[in-house]
Amino acid sequence: MNTHDAYLAAMLRRWHANPHLSHTRQTIGHHGAAAAVIAHALWPGDAEVLWACIAHDLGESATGDVPSPAKRANNTLAIELLIAEANALAAMGVSYQPSDRLDLVDRLEAYLWMMHHAAPQRLTPEWGKSLAWIEGMALEQGVGVANAVQVILSDARRSAGVAEVAPVVRGWWQRVWGCIMGERT
């Protein structure tokens, strides 16, 4: 591994193209470390996912942090970025194993960053969809993970001074409770 290049890549700034978060100073190194902390809380001892959290965005040193909505809106752009980032990782000698666990903590960490720095954004459709995806993926990982994620999200809401769940989408646990209580979802 080219440690120096990987170290420099970790300094790349995130959120520069997001008008609500561009004032923040998170780097991909900060993001990777925070994602690893979350991953360790959810799956203690899973060294593979911990490394993936640290390494997964280092390839963005070749492309910059292109916002997810832009990639979702343009498949050609997303593929080209993926190729460029993979080439940058290969040049650094960095590899990791993509996984659902990585995807979950990657999005969860981004959501927590938003809650800490721009909590009103949780009410937008884009962040509402992200929350629904996080809750759904957490449930796919098992009830224990889903419950732990709900505790993490609850702590983030409390820290941000937000008591309610975003009204844009009902969380998985609200849907389950609604089914138990006989409500239509």
Residue 119: per-residue pLDDT: 92
Q: How far apart are CA 13 and CA 169, in angstroms?
A: 30
Q: How far apart are CA 70 and CA 163, in angstroms?
A: 31
pLDDT, tens digit only, all 185 positions of the chain: 999 999 999 999 999 999 999 999 999 999 999 999 999 999 999 999 999 999 999 999 999 999 888 998 999 999 999 999 999 999 999 999 999 999 999 999 999 999 999 999 999 999 999 999 999 999 999 989 999 999 999 999 989 888 655 444 445 555 555 555 555 44
Q: Which residue has the tokens 């709900």?
A: 150
pTM of this structure: 0.86
Residue 68: per-residue pLDDT: 86
Residue 69: per-residue pLDDT: 86
Tokens found for residue 32: 């990777």
Residue 185 lies in a domain: no
The amino acid present at 115, given as its one-letter code, is: M
φ and ψ of 76, to 5 deg: -60, -45
Residue 181: per-residue pLDDT: 54
Tokens found for residue 48: 């593979």
* Domain around 165: 3-180
Residue 10: per-residue pLDDT: 96
The total number of structural domains in the chain stands at 1
Residue 170: per-residue pLDDT: 47
Q: How far apart are CA 147 and CA 137, in angstroms?
A: 12
Residue 39: which CATH number? 1.10.3210.10
φ and ψ of 168, to 5 deg: -65, -40
> Which residues have a Cβ under 8 Å from the Cβ of 147 and sit 6 or more positions away?
none
Q: For residues 10 and 58, is the Cβ–Cβ distance under 8 A? A: yes
Tokens found for residue 103: 């995807």
**b/e burial code for range 131-147 (CB count within 10 A of at least 16 → b):** bbbbbebbbebeeebbe
Taken in order 67, 71, 72, 78, is the CA torsion positive or negative?
A: negative
Give, in order, the Cα–Cα distances in Å from 119 to each of 34, 106, 162. Answer: 18, 18, 8
